[in-house]
Structure 1
């Protein structure tokens, strides 16, 4: 079992021979952020240091590796609202089997070298359905079991509230510090996730499928990109939701570069429904990456957006607009670049015509705005790096830009994020959905601001043209943003990028 301590995180600016654990610090140091409600006993000096820490120490890898995480399908206890934890009494419902089959179809053309699975029946059955006729054996690993919830396991949620009172309340509002039967379940889970990564990364494979559970998949995503236990319930994992992580070797060896390529690509629509992690929400920001423009092939930077949408870009814009019909959008905001404006116009027109089927129908009004603060293309083109290799838009490409460029991008995106939160705050007691259309780099940076990170995390997220990312605000714009999905592309159909497409070809280090 591994222990995760504040000093075990990796800071590229610090000496590499620092000890992994400082016994004078709390074992599980938690960063306080303006968007996280937990009370944390840390000095401001310690908090500043923690915010500069970037990821755990992981085994070196020889070549690029992609890991695809899938949560199991709906289980009988999911349907009953019963607390499962690491118990093994529930099985897939018929809906869960159907969800697993949808995920199988989603991944049918993708190649995997190996499959790891939790040994619990609901997860192993999901793995078997997705793995299908592939010949390789599914490897089960106990460390991939769901979070251990001890005496809570088997209880209906109202029973847990009645029987455990304050402890159940702490589980709901302060999970990292929740203690039961002498255990801190979330802290134990984060340590277990690190152990899982050590085993996955040393395995001789380039493409790995992992089928597990809600909480453990959250922990796997968070630990991979260097986020602590305070991010529990912030990165959603729906039943059969697919998340993708890319690991790229460092030329000098050591911990690889790690990028979250997708989060929670679900079998169903990511914008349907109005709850996040079981909590009702009426306020949402949808980040839309504009479609491909005619000027992109001539630019040294990806997705410049300076020209009008090309044929693929128009298809992407239309597919986005159709996906967003599940929402009643209040405001569509874009920058001033042509690709962003045209994508936003397509969304607006479809929204306004959505309920207008009769001859006498009056179209619904959607407010539209163009805000220069959402333009970051001029910042990106300041880079003097040889960007010829960036046209493939590989995971973590923002890591390759100069520090002054990423600083400008970070500062500009902070202004953009404030604009969006202001728009979301309008009509405080009403449903409010704000669509923001812009460059993938802008949206990556704004998600970083939402999560209260620093610019060092810019290379930890990836977005494609035509993708959407969804952020819910159960407690309103001043509360915690819950990431429902990142880089969702299933709506693009045959024009989407395959999940297991190699990002670095067969390059070896």
Structure 2
């Protein structure tokens, strides 16, 4: 691939679930969206992406992402989505289904919090393990972009995934990488010296201050 080629990657989080509302760790549990409560955020995202064309669409295989994609893509004529389980949320192991309030007195949970996710929760995966599978998933997206001349790709995934991608590509701290429901980032990658380098990062949907 020649240097200077680019790929715009729009990566968004799924809409609201009951466990989001309850502040429970969902991880890889296959939780459905909370409807109709999830609709306002997803409608805003749908409006933000109105008129955009995507050369490819990729989604986590979990139901909350598939439902979100179905809502924001209805009637848009976008390509059929490819599902990739490597885009699932972090595996929180024994913490899944539980809240901070329920876990806060447990020493191992406090150690996990203090490690900013670098320590694997019991039965789960560490942030580094998550980054490794995301690296493989993105590598596949970049390879397909090269082979099929993609210039813009939509990815529907999870909050923890976007947070780790922001640590890597935006250089933000673990606690600063959180995005809201049905929100995410628009990254532009440019091929330089045989590697894909992030050249810009913007919020999706764009903040009102950027629209005015």
TM normalised by structure 1 equals 0.38
- Name 1:155's counterpart in structure 2: 98
1:186 matched to 2:127? The reply is yes
2:168 to 223, 226, 229: 223
Does the 8 A contact of 1:92 with 1:125 survive in 2? Answer: no
Does the 8 A contact of 2:26 with 2:96 survive in 1? Answer: yes
- Name 1:107's counterpart in structure 2: 49
1:233 matched to 2:175? The reply is yes
**Structure 1 residue 70: deviation in Å?**
0.8
Secondary structure of 2:98's match? coil
Q: Distance in 2 between matches of 1:159 and 1:129?
A: 33
- Name 2:20's counterpart in structure 1: 78
Q: Distance in 1 between matches of 2:31 and 2:81?
A: 21
**Alpha carbons of 1:124 and 1:210: their partners in 2 closer, same or farther (altered >3 Å)?**
same
1:265 matched to 2:205? The reply is yes
- Name 1:116's counterpart in structure 2: 58
**Structure 1 residue 62: deviation in Å?**
7.4
- Name 1:93's counterpart in structure 2: 35
**Structure 1 residue 231: deviation in Å?**
2.8
Q: Distance in 2 between matches of 1:173 and 1:132?
A: 42
Does the 8 A contact of 1:115 with 1:210 survive in 2? Answer: yes
| Count of residue correspondences | 207
- Name 1:136's counterpart in structure 2: 79
**Alpha carbons of 1:106 and 1:132: their partners in 2 closer, same or farther (altered >3 Å)?**
same
**Structure 1 residue 114: deviation in Å?**
1.1
1:172 matched to 2:113? The reply is yes
Greater relative CO, 1 or 2 (CA 8 Å, sep 6+): 2
Q: Distance in 2 between matches of 1:104 and 1:258?
A: 25
Q: Whose radius of gyration is greater, 1 or 2?
A: 1
- Name 1:255's counterpart in structure 2: 195
**Alpha carbons of 1:62 and 1:92: their partners in 2 closer, same or farther (altered >3 Å)?**
farther
**Structure 1 residue 184: deviation in Å?**
4.4
Deviations 1:104-162 (A, max 9, x none): 11101111111111111111111111122225211110010001100110113222225
Q: Distance in 2 between matches of 1:81 and 1:157?
A: 8
- Name 1:195's counterpart in structure 2: 136
**Structure 1 residue 247: deviation in Å?**
1.2
Q: Structure 1 regions of 5+ residues with no counterpart?
A: 1-58, 271-322, 324-466, 468-488, 493-509
Q: Distance in 1 between matches of 2:135 and 2:142?
A: 11
Alignment of 1:302-313 (within 5 A): none
**Structure 1 residue 233: deviation in Å?**
2.3
**Alpha carbons of 1:234 and 1:218: their partners in 2 closer, same or farther (altered >3 Å)?**
same
Does the 8 A contact of 2:94 with 2:124 survive in 1? Answer: no
Secondary structure of 2:117's match? helix
**Alpha carbons of 1:248 and 1:177: their partners in 2 closer, same or farther (altered >3 Å)?**
closer
- Name 2:157's counterpart in structure 1: 212
**Structure 1 residue 85: deviation in Å?**
1.0
Q: Distance in 1 between matches of 2:141 and 2:3?
A: 11
**Structure 1 residue 209: deviation in Å?**
0.5
**Structure 1 residue 235: deviation in Å?**
1.9
Secondary structure of 2:104's match? helix
